[in-house]
Structures are given as C-alpha cells and as structure tokens.
Structure 1
C-alpha cells in the first residue's frame, strides 16, 4: 500500500508520461492484462487511457487492471489511469521512505 507522500511522488513522475495502453470497446481482456503486467515490469510507472467507446465503467476498468496485474492505482483523473508496480529486475524509481 502506498502512502500519500509516495503517491504524490509517483504522480509527479507520471506527469510527463503519455498513455501507452488504450482500453476501447472490447474492455479489458486477458491479453491486455498480460501486456500491462509486462510493461509495468519494464517501466514500473505507466499511464492507461480509457476511450469514450469503452463499455465498462472507468472505476471497474481500473479495478480489473489492478487485480489482474497486482499493481497499485496511483491516480485516476477522467479517462486516464496511472498505475505503479515495483519492478523485480528493472528497478528505476526510488520511492520516498515510510516513517
């Protein structure tokens, strides 16, 4: 579980990122979950865009992605989700320490 300070740090890091996945009409499927998991392992922090024609609710999409990839949802504003998962092999981000 991320603290407020850690989420703030991750939001600042994600500000300049562009979404690398788009959830469209088909919603979230197993293949997309697998690809998002691989991207999180490689990058740790990603943005996901939810298109207007997506039939699933935005909160539901975020929940399915979170459960499927075992990641943390840092932020969800409108149709953009910022997801974080600490990488095992490609550690890039150093989170602020918890006191």
Structure 2
C-alpha cells in the first residue's frame, strides 16, 4: 500500500482530541492510515480496539508493524469514493 499515514499517535496517547481527529479524517476519506510513533506507549491492537469502540462503524482493515489502517463508510454521500467502489465488486 502506497498510502502515507495521515495521523500520527505519539506520547499524548488516546485522547479525545486524537479520536476527534480520526473521526473527522475518516468521514472525509473513508480509509486512513495511522502511524504509532516510537514515543507512543499504545499497541496497534489497543488503538484499533479503542477507535472501534469510540467511533461507531469504524473497522480495522489491517495492521502492519506500528501502523493501523482503518475504514468507515462516510455519512456524506459525496465522500463515499471507496465504499462505492467496494459496492461495485
């Protein structure tokens, strides 16, 4: 996957601000990559589970190393590029 991480998680951890940023980004893009920096004490599994709990409909698509790829269908039909492609399959 050539997508670059859109959001980095550092030493501040899983804060409401972090969750809000992920929610905003996922609404406009549907699929985002989150990179866990070395300063982060969280694991990719913990981050994925926490985000899935905090953002209804969010799914962890993949984890590789310290990177988490998450997906959620956009509420706004204009932002549904990926989900429209998936529906065609």
> Which TM-score applies when normalising by structure 1?
0.77
The corresponding residue for 1:3 is: none
TM-score, with length taken from structure 2: 0.85
C-alpha separation in 1, matches of 2:24 and 2:45 = 22
SS of equivalent to 2:63: strand
Task: Number of aligned residue pairs: give it.
Answer: 84
Structure with greater contact order relative to length (CA < 8 Å, sep ≥ 6) = 1
Contiguous gaps of at least 5 residues in structure 1: 1-14
Where do 5+ consecutive residues of structure 2 fail to align? none
Q: Flag as ranges the 4+ runs of structure 1 deviating above 6 A.
A: none
Deviations 1:63-87 (A, max 9, x none): 1122112200000010010000001
Aligned to 1:24: 10
Partner of 1:62: 48
- Could you tell me whether the CA contact under 8 Å between 1:73 and 1:82 is conserved in 2? yes
Equivalent in the alignment of 1:41: 27
SS in 1 for 2:5: coil
| Distance in 2, Cα, partners of 1:78 & 1:16 | 15
